[in-house]
Amino acid sequence: MSCQCSTSCGKGTRDRTVRCFHALEYKDDIFCDSNTRPSDKQPCNKKRCLPNIYHWQTSVWTECSNSCGYGRKSRDVWCVDLSRRKVNDDLCNPSSKPENVSSCYGSKCPPKWKHGDWSACSRSCGRGYQYRVVECVGDTKCDMRTKPPVWRPCNMGQCSGFLFWRVGPWSQCSVSCGRGIMKRAVKCLARNGSYVDDSSCTTPTSSKPAPSRVCQMKPCPPKTCKEVQLIGGQQDDGEHILMVQGKEFKVYCHAMMSDEPKEYITLKTGPAENFAEIYPKRLRNAWACPSNGSHVEECDCEDEDYNLSGGSYFTKVRLDLSAMRIIAEDKQFASTRGLNPPPYGTAGDCYSAQGNCPQGRFSINLKETGVRLTSKVMWGSTGQAYSQIIYRYPGGLQVIGKCGGRCGTCSPEAEVGLRVELEEDVS
Question: pLDDT (tens digit, 9 = 90+) per residue, 338-348?
Answer: 888 999 999 99
217-229, pLDDT tens digit by residue? 777 888 999 988 8
Mean pLDDT of the chain: 84
State phi, psi for 243 to the nearest 5 degrees. Answer: -95, 110
pLDDT at 185 over 80: yes
Most confident of 63-67, 151-155, 261-265: 261-265
State phi, psi for 292 to the nearest 5 degrees. Answer: 55, 35
- Grade residue 117 by pLDDT with cuts at 50, 70 and 90: confident
Q: Give per-residue burial for 40-72: e unless 16+ CB within 10 Å, then b.
A: eeeebeeeeeeeeebeeeeeeeeebeeeeeeee
At 24 the pLDDT is 47
Beta-carbon contacts of 306 under 8 Å, excluding residues fewer than 6 positions away, are 278, 279, 280, 281, 282, 349, 350, 351, 407
Lowest pLDDT segment from 60-64, 270-274, 283-287: 60-64
- Grade residue 160 by pLDDT with cuts at 50, 70 and 90: low
Q: CA 285 to CA 288: how far, in whole Å?
A: 6
Residues recorded for the chain? 427
State phi, psi for 318 to the nearest 5 degrees. Answer: -80, 140
At 140 the pLDDT is 74
| Mean pLDDT computed over 13-37 | 69
Q: What angle do CA 144, 148, 149 make, to 5 degrees?
A: 110
At 2 the pLDDT is 47
| Mean pLDDT computed over 264-293 | 90
pLDDT at 427 over 60: no
- Grade residue 157 by pLDDT with cuts at 50, 70 and 90: low
At 158 the pLDDT is 66
- Grade residue 25 by pLDDT with cuts at 50, 70 and 90: low
Q: CA 352 to CA 289: how far, in whole Å?
A: 7
Name the burial class of residue 169, with classes exposed (0-12), middle (13-18) and buried (19+) by CB atoms within 10 angstroms of its CB.
Answer: exposed
Most confident of 148-162, 186-200, 355-369: 355-369
In sequence order, the β-bridge partners of residue 189 are 164, 195
Report how far Cα 44 is from the mean position of its chain's Cα atoms: 34
| Mean pLDDT computed over 180-184 | 90
At 267 the pLDDT is 95
In sequence order, the β-bridge partners of residue 43 are 13
HEC readout, 199-261:
HHCCECCECCCCCEEEEECCCCCCCCHHHHHHHHCCCCCEEEEEEECCEEEEEEEECCCCCCC
Lowest pLDDT segment from 46-55, 115-124, 255-264, 390-399: 46-55
* Confidence (pTM): 0.59
Lowest pLDDT segment from 16-25, 266-275, 293-302, 375-384: 16-25
CB 345 within 8 Å of CB 418: yes
More confident residue, 136 or 325: 325
State phi, psi for 414 to the nearest 5 degrees. Answer: -60, -35
More confident residue, 107 or 324: 324
Give the domain ranges of the chain: 11-45, 55-105, 170-220, 225-262, 267-422
